[in-house]
Amino acid sequence: MQVGLTHYLILSAILFSLGIYGVVTRKNAILVLMGIELILNSANINFIAFSRYSGMQLDGQVIAVFVIILAAAEAAVALAIVLNIYQRFKTVNVDEINKLKE
């Protein structure tokens, strides 16, 4: 069977599921962030695959660039928050951080 749109979509579906699994099960906040990056990458594969198989209309690729931009911004802010949490609580395990105010 020749590689077509379905192959890319199934690849991105599996990548998405792996990302969801990482986000749901991991305790470490940074590994949760890695799961989010996997999810964003799988969404990007979908966008670009549809862009390619709609006769090379580039709108999907433009959206993919925006997704990459937002991922960069999200990673920067989230890492800053995680560093702050570590300074305050001395841990980054999300199940131990359960206080709004000390």
Partner 1 sequence: MSLFDIIFYFFAIVTLVSAGIVVFSRNIIYSAFSLLFTFFGVAGIYILLNADFIAVAQLLIYVGGILVLLLFGVMLTNKVISVDIKTGTVQTLPALLLVAMTAGSLCGIFYVTDWKIVQSVPEVSTTTYSLGEMFMTTYLLPFEVASVILLVALIGAVMIARRDKQE
Residue 93, strand partner residues: 28
Q: 48, 20, 46, 45: which is closest to 34 by C-alpha?
A: 20
Q: 98, 92, 100: which is closest to 30 by C-alpha?
A: 92
Q: Of residues 38-77, which lie at the interface with partner 1 (CB under 8 A)?
A: 38, 41, 44-45, 48-49, 51-56, 58-59, 61-62, 64-66, 68-77
Minimum gap (Å) between residue 83 Cβ and partner 1: 5
Is residue 24 at the binding interface for partner 1, with CB under 8 A as the rule?
Answer: yes
Minimum gap (Å) between residue 16 Cβ and partner 1: 7
